[in-house]
């Protein structure tokens, strides 16, 4: 059983609760997952952040599909690498949508971007 923050009052609530015991906010109705496919080729561990709350929502490795629970439109950042990591690549994500963190090659270099996708293909 995971603890989440109530989107209304910010108190810790069980993710299986129907309503927030503190303020009565309907937790169950607004629960919605976002799926993110993490590209191959990233170094080390990938962390998914709530950019405003500055907390890590998920930790994964490249090539994985990660699910995060957000209750409303949330600014999500990613960081990866070894050692100390700073949030990077801010993307506004909406509950129920799918995204991928992938590399795009330009003439000179490759960089990583986050984009919304309709379907996550199985790997």
Choices 5-13, 45-53, 87-95, 106-114 (CB under 5 A): range interacting with Zn ion = 5-13
Among 12, 14, 23, 116, binds Zn ion (CB under 5 A): 23
Cα(96)–Cα(33) distance, integer angstroms: 5
Residues 6+ apart with CB under 8 A from 117: 37, 98, 99, 100
8 binds Zn ion (CB under 5 A): yes
Q: What part of residues 25-44 is at the interface with Zn ion (CB under 5 A)?
A: 25
Choices 21-29, 48-56, 68-76, 110-118 (CB under 5 A): range interacting with Zn ion = 21-29
- CA 40 to chain CA centroid, nearest Å: 17
H/E element, 71: none
Cα(76)–Cα(34) distance, integer angstroms: 11
Q: What part of residues 65-94 is at the interface with Zn ion (CB under 5 A)?
A: none
Q: Which is nearer to Zn ion, 55 or 82 (CB)?
A: 55
Give whole-number Cα distances, 10 to 4, 37, 71, in Å: 9, 28, 12
DSSP 69: E
Among 12, 15, 22, 61, binds Zn ion (CB under 5 A): 22
20 binds Zn ion (CB under 5 A): yes
Q: Which is nearer to Zn ion, 9 or 120 (CB)?
A: 9
Residues that bind Zn ion (CB under 5 A): 6, 8-9, 20, 22-23, 25
């Amino acid at each position: 059983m995971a603890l989440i923050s109530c989107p209304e009052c910010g108190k810790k609530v069980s993710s299986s609760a129907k309503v927030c015991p503190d303020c009565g906010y309907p937790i169950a109705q607004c629960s919605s997952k976002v799926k993110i496919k993490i590209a191959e080729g990233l170094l080390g561990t990938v962390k998914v952040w709530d950019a405003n709350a500055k907390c890590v929502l998920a930790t994964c490795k490249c090539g994985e599909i990660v699910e995060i629970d957000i209750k409303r439109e949330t600014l999500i950042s990613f960081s990866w690498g070894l050692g100390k990591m700073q949030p990077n690549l801010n993307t506004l994500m909406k509950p129920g949508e799918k995204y991928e963190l992938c590399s795009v090659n330009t003439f000179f270099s490759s960089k990583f971007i986050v984009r919304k996708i309709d379907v996550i293909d199985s790997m």
